[in-house]
């Protein structure tokens, strides 16, 4: 009888694992996009996120200013390629109030600092150490860039690497609004 009880226990455990796994897969595949930021909506707020120097930033610090939020990583070739283009646009439009918040995706300090030594970037580099902001924004690929108008609403979302022209076109719209 012991062998039969053991077999029943194993079957019950297997069924439980299959149900739990099915639930996990189902919620991932069929999750609603309703919570994710959309064009015309407000971006998820974030507070007290440290920059590379340890200074804290909140999205609310930039109310009334056009903001670019760029999610990037050193492991991402399109991210690396577009950062100098973002810097050029930032230099061109910073006197018009443009803010760039480049949010690194949980990489360690040494990796980020070594990367930044290769470039002369003057915009704010934030550290999303636990990928909380990444999850709030519902990212699925990198780079992903959000363009937020002075009214605090998302004007555009660009997934993938951008050229100077891509960025400038969107920045001009931010400044016109």
Domain presence at residue 39: no
Note whether 159 and 115 are same-domain residues: yes
Note whether 70 and 104 are same-domain residues: yes
Domain presence at residue 36: no
Note whether 89 and 17 are same-domain residues: no
Domain presence at residue 41: no
Note whether 22 and 100 are same-domain residues: no
CA distance 165 to 172: 10
Helix, strand or coil, per DSSP, at residue 98: coil
pLDDT of residue 24: 62
Note whether 144 and 110 are same-domain residues: yes
**Residue 112 and residue 74 in contact, taking contact as beta carbons nearer than 8 Å:** yes
Note whether 99 and 167 are same-domain residues: yes
Note whether 18 and 57 are same-domain residues: no
pLDDT of the chain, 177 residues: tens digit per residue: 577 888 888 887 878 777 776 666 655 544 445 578 999 999 999 999 999 999 999 999 999 999 999 999 999 999 999 999 999 999 999 999 999 999 999 899 899 999 998 988 999 999 998 899 999 999 999 999 999 999 999 999 999 999 999 999 999 999 997
Q: How far is CA 155 from CA 27, 29, 83, 106, 164, in A?
A: 29, 27, 20, 26, 18
Owning domain of residue 142: 49-176
pLDDT of residue 157: 97
Domain presence at residue 43: no
Strand 154-159's sheet: what is its strand order?
A: 124-127, 99-104, 67-72, 144-148, 154-159
pLDDT of residue 12: 76
Helix then strand then coil, in percent of the chain rounded to 5, is 45, 20, 35
Domain presence at residue 128: yes
The pTM is what? Answer: 0.80
pLDDT of residue 25: 60
**Tally of structural domains, the chain:** 2
Q: Provide the angle, in degrees to the nearest 10, between the axes of the packed helices 77-93 and 164-176.
A: 40
Domain presence at residue 44: no
Note whether 78 and 115 are same-domain residues: yes
Note whether 80 and 133 are same-domain residues: yes
């Amino acid at each position: 009888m012991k062998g039969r009880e053991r077999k029943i226990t194993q079957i019950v455990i297997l069924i439980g694992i299959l149900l739990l796994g099915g639930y996990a897969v189902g919620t991932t595949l069929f999750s609603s996009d309703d919570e994710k930021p959309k064009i015309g909506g407000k971006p998820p707020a974030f507070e007290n996120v440290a920059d590379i120097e340890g200074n804290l930033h909140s999205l609310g610090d930039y109310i009334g200013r056009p903001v670019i939020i760029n999610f990037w990583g050193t492991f991402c070739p399109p991210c690396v390629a577009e950062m100098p283009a973002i810097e050029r646009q930032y230099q061109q439009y910073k006197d018009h109030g443009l803010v760039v918040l480049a949010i690194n995706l949980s990489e360690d300090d040494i990796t980020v600092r070594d990367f930044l030594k290769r470039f002369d970037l003057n915009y704010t580099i934030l550290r999303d150490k636990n990928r909380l902001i990444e999850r709030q924004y519902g990212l699925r690929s990198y780079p992903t860039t959000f363009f937020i108008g002075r009214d605090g609403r998302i004007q555009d979302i660009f997934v993938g690497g951008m050229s100077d022209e891509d960025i400038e076109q969107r920045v001009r719209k931010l400044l016109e609004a």
